[in-house]
Amino acid sequence: MSPSASLLEVESLTVRLPIEGGMREVLHGVSLEIRPGESVGLVGESGSGKSMTARAIDRILPPGAAVSGQIRFGGRDVMSLGGADLKKFRGEVAMIFQDPRAHTNPVRRIGDFMTEALCTNQGVSKQDASRRAVALLKDVGIEDGERRLHQYPHELSGGLLQRVMIATALLTKPRLLLADEPTTALDVTTQAEVVGILDTLRSDLGLAMLFITHNLELAAAICDRTIVMYAGQVVEVRQSNRLHDEPLHPYTAALTAARPSIERTAPRLLAIAGRPLSAFEAPETECAFAPRCPYAQDVCRRARPSLVELDGGMTRCVRASDLVGHMELSAHG
């Protein structure tokens, strides 16, 4: 990995939200970095804070959110951006969501939706914007773009609509793509196509990407590095090609082992006891995963571990150096 300057730097990001009458911490000091052109996976179960991280980066947190820490994009402080600068920033950091139907207006045509940001924020003429939209639709494998621009969202299948979303995100020529579970709602064969398009376009354009998913293998397939989150904290950062066979954190190992295999039937899956903690339930005085961790000892319950470097990656586990290479990774022996 070349030591080029970061495109995005997130440092000690802490987010508190008004939940059930009190301010609850939903992100506990998240730090991460993305270099220009790099694709980074952000993996975790529900409530782990992965979407919240992306929303904090794009400055679209729910009202009442209290944020501390640092977010820097291309050297600029994102938290202090306002007005025109914030709009410009959102053009450079584009977001793709899980459910394209929930993020399109059902009574507006695809064309109006796609070109809105270009026309209103960047002063591009309607005609120019449409021409660029058609060209990008072609890039995502939609040949009859002209016709699609006049259609409404309900006339397109989920896979097609998600391709439209990708093309829309690329229209403002972003430098970073925040993709929040962009293929989770799609069929497996459609997912493979959409991910293939995203992957190809991203590397052709030299675009950096934060790819949020609950699917470790999907992240590993298209991301250079993968970040694993649990209960509002980063617990592991690893080169994707080493994540499956050489995880650093017991949680990552447990996730790998819990998933059934398409290759063979396990006599019994290695389920993780208990349920995933929501971020705001994470204890401050011990490792958040300790209650479910098969390797937990007293030392794990004395303090919240910090993220430490190990074997080319990072892990938030005090026992990591003892455990690496000795954790159970499959129910198949």
Partner 1 sequence: MAEPILEVKGLRKEFGPLVAVDDVSFSLPEGGSLAIVGESGSGKTTVAKMIVGLERPTAGVIRACGADRSLPPRSTRERRRRGREVQIVFQDPYTSLDPRQTGEATIDEVLRLHRGWDRDRRRERIKQLADLVGLDDRQMRALPRSLSGGQRQRVAIARALAAEPRVLILDESVAALDVSIQAQVLNLLADIHDETQVSYLCISHDLAVVRQLTQETVVMWRGRVVERGTTAQVLDDPQDDYTRRLRASVPRPGWKPPGHTVAPAAV
Enumerate binding residues for partner 1 (CB under 8 A).
1-2, 45-46, 158, 187-193, 195-197, 199-200, 203, 214-215, 217-218, 220-222, 244-245, 254-255, 258-266, 268-272, 275-276, 292
Q: How far is the CB of 272 from partner 1 (least distance, A)?
A: 4
Identity of the residue, 89 or 211, whose beta carbon is nearer to partner 1 in the bound complex? 211
CB of 262 to partner 1, least distance (A): 5
266 or 308: CB nearest partner 1:
266
Least CB distance to partner 1 at residue 241 (A) = 9
Nearest-approach distance from CB 309 to partner 1, in angstroms: 19
Q: How far is the CB of 91 from partner 1 (least distance, A)?
A: 27
Which of 262, 159, 170, 235 has its CA nearest to residue 207?
170
* Least distance between partner 1 and beta carbon 147 (Å): 22
Considering the complex, state which of residue 154 and residue 275 has its C-beta at the smaller distance from partner 1: 275
Nearer to partner 1, 14 or 184 (CB): 184
* Residue in 260, 257, 233 with CA at minimum distance from that of residue 247: 257
Two structure tokens written together for 268: 């019994």
Using the minimum distance from each CB to partner 1, give the nearer residue, 126 or 275. 275
Q: Write down the least CB distance from residue 19 to partner 1, Å.
A: 14
Indicate the residue among 24 and 214 with the shorter CB distance to partner 1.
214
- Cα-based distances in Å from 291 to 79, 236, 250, 275, 287: 35, 18, 12, 10, 8
Of 268 and 326, CB closest to partner 1: 268
